[in-house]
Structure 1
Amino acid sequence: MFSYVLKRLLGLIPTLLLVAVMVFLFVHLLPGDPARLAAGPEADETTVALIRADLGLDQPIHKQFVRFFVNAAHGDFGTSLRSKLPVSQEIMERFWPTLWLTVTSMVWAVIFGLFIGVFSAVWRNEWPDRVGMTLAVSGISFPPFALGMVAMEVFSVQLGWLPTVGADSWRHYILPSLTLGAGVAAIMARFTRSSFIEIMKEDFVRTARAKGLNERIVIAKHCLRNALIPVVTMMGLQFGFLLGGSIVVEKVFNWPGMGRLLIDAVEMRDYPIIQAEILLFSLEFIFINLVVDVLYAVINPSIRYK
């Protein structure tokens, strides 16, 4: 297992280099002059030029990239143009609310998605299947921002049960996590159902039933483990999408996370924040893919020898 993980880690180096180049070029193609925005609309050209030189934006693009890459490799992403605070400090303050919101959303989405998907597969074409797939289609079809506004209107404004903004207590996590995880739960249910139906047609499942094993044992021991490999792939990708795609939900609920920070940075052309956040999101996807590959080897040991 160690050699397998080591090979996967070494294979990430070219990907990281490519991601760093793409992030740098993407940010510098954004319209607007960050030096002008930092100086203010009343500043003269001399002041703007001084700020541009202080930010290093007057240097050739390749020198800017080398400086960005070297500093990023040492964990230094510069200073925010908006708050004048270190970028690493800004991100760390916003990272944990986003991470816990994503984890909370993923936990309940996986539990409900697997539950609905397995029941729909076992009771295929019967009323549990129809009810489960109706819920799944509804979850996929309803946009997160619309679901969030409806949830706030019903549970906060009309009933007064839950708070609408902030992240001060566990009650603040309920509505944003339900809004963020609804689509993932729906996709999980449909994916699990499809995978389970395919596995239940295999010969080893028929053999297990022919031996007289209890149906629950057949489903839990023989079907579930073999059906998990494609499901784990989807879970990893969805977790990455939740981390990077919580921007809309954070905006709706005024959540103090990385999504709101990124929106503010784009509006102010805060290059250091934008570069660091996009690079962080990319690294999260790469790391999640690595974890998924390792889970493959845990679920099916024959994979690591191929």
Structure 2
Amino acid sequence: MLNYIVKRLLGLIPTLLIVAVLVFLFVHLLPGDPARLAAGPEADQQTVELVRADLGLDKPLYQQFVRFFVNAAQADFGRSLRSKRPVSTEIAERFMPTLWLTLAAMVWSVLFGMVIGIVSAVWRNEWPDRLGMTLAVSGISFPAFALGMVLMEIFSVQLGWLPTVGADGWRHYILPSITLGAGVAAVMARFTRSSFIDILKEDYVRTARAKGLRETVVVVKHCLRNALIPVVTMMGLQFGFLLGGSIVVEVVFNWPGMGRLLIDAVEMRDYPVIQAEVLLFSLEFILINLVVDVLYAVINPTIRYNK
């Protein structure tokens, strides 16, 4: 297992290099002049050229990339063109609100999704199954931004129960986490249902039922552990998508997280922030996939990884 983890970690290097090249080329293809935006609309051309030289944007593209990659290898992503602060500081301040929002959305969506999926599988083609799958299809079909605005209109504007913007207390997390996790809960419900239906057809499940065990014991003890392996894969992927895909929700609720920071960086052509955030999102996906693979062995010790 240790050799497997080390090999996967070493595999980060070429993957991140490819991502770095693609991101660097992408941000430099964005329309607009970051030097002009940094200098201000009233600045003359001479001032803009001075700002461009100060930012290193006057150098050839390959020199800019070498400088970016060498600095990134040392965890130095430069300074934000917008705020003039270190990019690492900007991201550090925004990372925790996004992480806590993602964790809150993930916890409730996984719990509700798995419960709905298990209930739907056990009572397949009956009214609990139809109700659960109707909720799942609704969660997948409803756009996040529309759901967020509907929730704000009902619970904030009309009822006045919950705040609309900010991240000052636990009440601020309720509406954004529901909006962010609705799609994940729907996917988890459908995936868990499918996985459980396959497990319920296995011979050992029929044997357990033939022994006279209660259905609760059969489902929890004999089915849950085996059904969790594909579900854990989906959980890991969805967690990665939540971390990187909270942009829409953060914009709707004006959440002070990394998604909001990325939108502001794109608007201002803040190259260092864009590059650092995309690289961070890529690293998160790779590490989450590694954690998921390791969890396989925890859930099912019979699984072994080849060196």
Q: TM-score, normalized by length of structure 2? A: 0.97
SS in 1 for 2:164: coil
- Structure 1 residues 73-112: aligned runs within 5 Å: 73-112=73-112
Higher mean Cα deviation, 24-33 or 146-155?
24-33
- Structure 1 residues 204-243: aligned runs within 5 Å: 204-243=204-243
Shift of 1:213: 2.6
Shift of 1:53: 1.3
Output the CA distance in 2 between the equivalents of 1:65 and 1:300.
44
1:180 is matched with which residue?
180
- Structure 1 residues 144-159: aligned runs within 5 Å: 144-159=144-159
Any idea what the Cα deviations from partners look like across 1:46-78, whole Å, max 9, x if unmatched? Answer: 221111111111112111111111111111111
1:122 is matched with which residue?
122
- Structure 1 residues 131-150: aligned runs within 5 Å: 131-150=131-150
Output the CA distance in 2 between the equivalents of 1:208 and 1:11.
43
Any idea what the Cα deviations from partners look like across 1:201-257, whole Å, max 9, x if unmatched? Answer: 112222222233322222112211111111111111111111111111111111111
1:5 is matched with which residue?
5
| Aligned residue pairs, count | 306
1:57 is matched with which residue?
57
Output the CA distance in 1 between the equivalents of 2:139 and 2:261.
27
CA contact (8 A) 1:119 1:129 kept: yes
SS in 1 for 2:108: helix
2:70 is matched with which residue?
70
1:198 is matched with which residue?
198
Shift of 1:42: 2.2
2:299 is matched with which residue?
299
Structure 1 moving runs of 4+ over 6 Å? none
The residue type equivalent to 1:6 in the other structure is V
Shift of 1:291: 0.8
Tell whether 2:259 aligns with 1:259: yes
CA-based RMSD of the aligned residues comes to 1.2
The answer for unaligned runs of 5 or more in structure 2 is none
CA contact (8 A) 2:16 2:279 kept: no
The residue type equivalent to 1:261 in the other structure is L
The residue type equivalent to 1:223 in the other structure is C
Any idea what the Cα deviations from partners look like across 1:263-304, whole Å, max 9, x if unmatched? Answer: 111111111111111111111111111111111122223332
The residue type equivalent to 1:283 in the other structure is L
- Structure 1 residues 276-287: aligned runs within 5 Å: 276-287=276-287
Output the CA distance in 2 between the equivalents of 1:191 and 1:5.
27
SS in 1 for 2:13: helix
SS in 2 for 1:301: coil
CA contact (8 A) 2:121 2:194 kept: yes
The residue type equivalent to 1:38 in the other structure is A
Output the CA distance in 2 between the equivalents of 1:140 and 1:121.
19
- Structure 1 residues 27-46: aligned runs within 5 Å: 27-46=27-46
Output the CA distance in 1 between the equivalents of 2:93 and 2:20.
23
Output the CA distance in 2 between the equivalents of 1:86 and 1:305.
41
1:24 is matched with which residue?
24
CA contact (8 A) 1:121 1:194 kept: yes
